[in-house]
């Protein structure tokens, strides 16, 4: 079951909301209604508090989306594709398809998000001054006061030199520029991010011990998240660096078992799936590969229909995210491998099947590489 759903596209970038975002929406709204409004605006009625709280939470959602969209649009302009933006419990993340190719592009992409947050801070403050000048009712001013402050905090927090926060990415880019090594730069900035994560956890524990339970728990969770993201970002970068040097034709499995489109589904099960224990097989018609078939294709077919239906009737056609060229690098293939839903890509050259690469191949290579080089 997917943990997120698509709400639309902006400039070709898919926008998704993770279901965990609803938790933060509810938490922010409740926090505003129960703490913020009673302290700063005690004269607000109950209905007004809940309506305002919901509006502010939605506008906060838009602010985070604009922050991530800024990263994404600058990335696309630099020639680095962005598949999607996902908003979730800790904010948002843009799924940039590969590492920036130069330190300069890294800095541009990293600073685009905080720049947008600072712009929103200034914009909302100007709106506050204009509304105040024209003696607007307090209820119209409150959302912009809150959102201006939050956007400033968002910009400052993201500029902290803790990878993978934006400030940490700037630090990485500067080290990369002067050292010439992206891997060393990532390792250093990732370690800084992990230390920062531990400090946030420690600060959260101190808050809990001083009876600031909710704030302490939240700070501890954010610290844990930053720590884990720092570790995973380094591993991801190290993996990309390794696989940027390896071409598919050096990595693929060249002895591929194919099935003919005309055999029955029952034959596929008995003579191929049970025998070879593979989950996916390329499907051949004459000398052409026309698609793939696997265990998932059979699940919806009644048992009695397996002998009456051919493999061709349940074959998934070849699409761009199932095919790579032998000249591609493993890094080029990994986006397709981990995103096409079947965990495999076919290596095809001029219509001829040369080999296959699976997620298992990648993970086994990494396991062996880490054993040899640790």
pLDDT for position 90: 63
Question: Are 311 and 303 spatial neighbours (Cβ–Cβ below 8 Å)?
Answer: no
User: 3-state DSSP call for residue 260?
Assistant: strand
The size of the chain, in residues, is: 374
**Nearest of 84, 108, 98, 68 to residue 12 by alpha carbon:** 84
Say whether both 120 and 261 belong to one domain: no
Q: Write phi, then psi, for 286 (nearest 5 degrees).
A: 60, -120
Say whether both 190 and 216 belong to one domain: yes
Say whether both 113 and 182 belong to one domain: no
The Cα-based distances of 333 to 10, 65, 81, 126, 164 in angstroms read 25, 29, 14, 48, 24
User: 3-state DSSP call for residue 96?
Assistant: strand
Beta bridge partners of 213: none
Q: Which residue among 202, 222, 244 closes a domain?
A: 244
> Which residue's structure tokens are 């990878």?
163
The Cα-based distances of 327 to 57, 97, 288, 324, 333 in angstroms read 48, 19, 21, 8, 11
Q: Is 221 exposed, middle or buried (0-12, 13-18, 19+ CB in 10 A)?
A: middle
Say whether both 363 and 346 belong to one domain: yes
- Asked whether the CA dihedral 82, 116, 176, 196 is positive or negative, the reply is negative
At 40, which helix (H) or strand (E)?
helix 37-40
Q: How many domains does one find in the chain? A: 3
Q: Which residue among 244, 270, 296 closes a domain?
A: 244
374 residues of the chain, pLDDT tens digit each: 457 777 788 888 888 888 888 888 888 888 888 888 888 888 888 888 899 999 998 998 889 889 989 998 998 888 888 888 888 766 777 777 777 888 999 999 999 999 999 999 999 999 999 998 888 888 888 889 999 999 999 899 889 888 888 898 999 999 999 988 888 888 888 888 899 899 999 999 998 898 888 778 888 988 888 888 888 877 777 777 778 888 888 888 888 889 998 999 999 999 998 898 888 899 998 878 888 888 888 887 888 888 888 988 888 888 888 888 888 888 878 878 877 778 888 888 887 888 898 888 888 887 887 777 65
**Nearest of 104, 64, 68, 84 to residue 15 by alpha carbon:** 84
Say whether both 154 and 40 belong to one domain: yes
Say whether both 211 and 256 belong to one domain: no
Say which DSSP state 302 is in: -
Say whether both 152 and 15 belong to one domain: yes
Say whether both 32 and 153 belong to one domain: yes
Say whether both 31 and 74 belong to one domain: yes
Say which DSSP state 136 is in: -
Say whether both 216 and 272 belong to one domain: no
At 289, which helix (H) or strand (E)?
strand 288-294
**Nearest of 287, 293, 290 to residue 273 by alpha carbon:** 293
Question: Are 88 and 123 spatial neighbours (Cβ–Cβ below 8 Å)?
Answer: no
Q: Write phi, then psi, for 37 (nearest 5 degrees).
A: -65, -45
- CB within 8 Å of 311: residues ≥ 6 apart: 259, 260, 261, 262, 263, 264, 265, 267, 268, 283, 293
pLDDT in tens, 123-179: 999 999 999 888 888 888 888 999 999 999 989 988 988 888 889 899 999 999 998
What CATH number corresponds to the domain at position 342?
A: 3.10.580.10
Encode 316-338 in three state secondary structure. EECCHHHEECCCCEHHHHHHHHC
Say whether both 266 and 312 belong to one domain: yes
Say whether both 144 and 2 belong to one domain: yes
The whole domain housing 39 covers 1-159
Q: Which residue among 224, 244, 264 closes a domain?
A: 244
């Amino acid at each position: 079951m997917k943990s997120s759903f698509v709400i639309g596209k902006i400039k070709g970038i898919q926008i998704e909301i993770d279901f965990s975002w609803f938790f933060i929406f509810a938490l922010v709204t409740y926090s505003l209604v129960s703490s913020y409004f009673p302290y700063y605006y005690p004269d607000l009625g109950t209905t007004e508090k809940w309506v305002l709280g919901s509006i502010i939470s939605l506008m906060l959602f838009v602010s985070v989306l604009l922050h991530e969209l800024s990263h994404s649009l600058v990335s696309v302009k630099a020639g680095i594709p962005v598949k999607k933006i996902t908003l979730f419990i800790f904010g948002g993340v843009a799924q940039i398809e590969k590492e920036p190719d130069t330190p300069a592009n890294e800095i541009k992409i990293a600073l685009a998000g905080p720049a947008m947050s600072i712009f929103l801070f200034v914009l909302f403050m100007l709106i506050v001054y204009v509304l105040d000048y024209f003696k607007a009712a307090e209820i119209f001013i409150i959302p912009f006061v809150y959102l201006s402050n939050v956007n400033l905090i968002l910009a400052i927090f993201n500029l902290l030199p803790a990878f993978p926060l934006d400030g940490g990415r700037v630090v990485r880019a500067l080290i990369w520029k002067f050292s010439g090594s992206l891997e060393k730069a990532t390792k250093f900035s990732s370690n800084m991010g992990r230390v920062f994560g531990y400090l946030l956890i420690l600060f959260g524990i101190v808050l809990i011990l001083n009876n600031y339970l909710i704030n302490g728990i939240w700070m501890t969770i954010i610290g844990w998240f930053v720590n884990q993201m720092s570790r995973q970002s380094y591993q991801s970068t190290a993996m990309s660096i390794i696989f940027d040097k390896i071409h598919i034709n050096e990595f693929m499995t060249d002895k591929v078992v194919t099935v003919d489109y005309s055999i029955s589904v029952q034959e596929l099960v008995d003579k191929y799936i049970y025998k070879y224990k593979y989950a996916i097989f390329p499907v051949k018609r004459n000398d052409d590969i026309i698609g793939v078939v696997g265990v998932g294709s059979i699940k919806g077919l009644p048992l009695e229909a397996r002998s009456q239906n051919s493999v061709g009737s349940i074959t998934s056609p070849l699409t761009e995210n199932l095919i790579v060229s032998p000249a591609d690098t493993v890094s080029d293939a990994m986006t397709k491998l981990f995103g096409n839903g079947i965990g495999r890509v076919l290596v095809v050259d001029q219509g001829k099947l040369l080999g296959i690469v699976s997620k298992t191949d990648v993970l086994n290579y990494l396991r062996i590489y880490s054993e040899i080089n640790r």
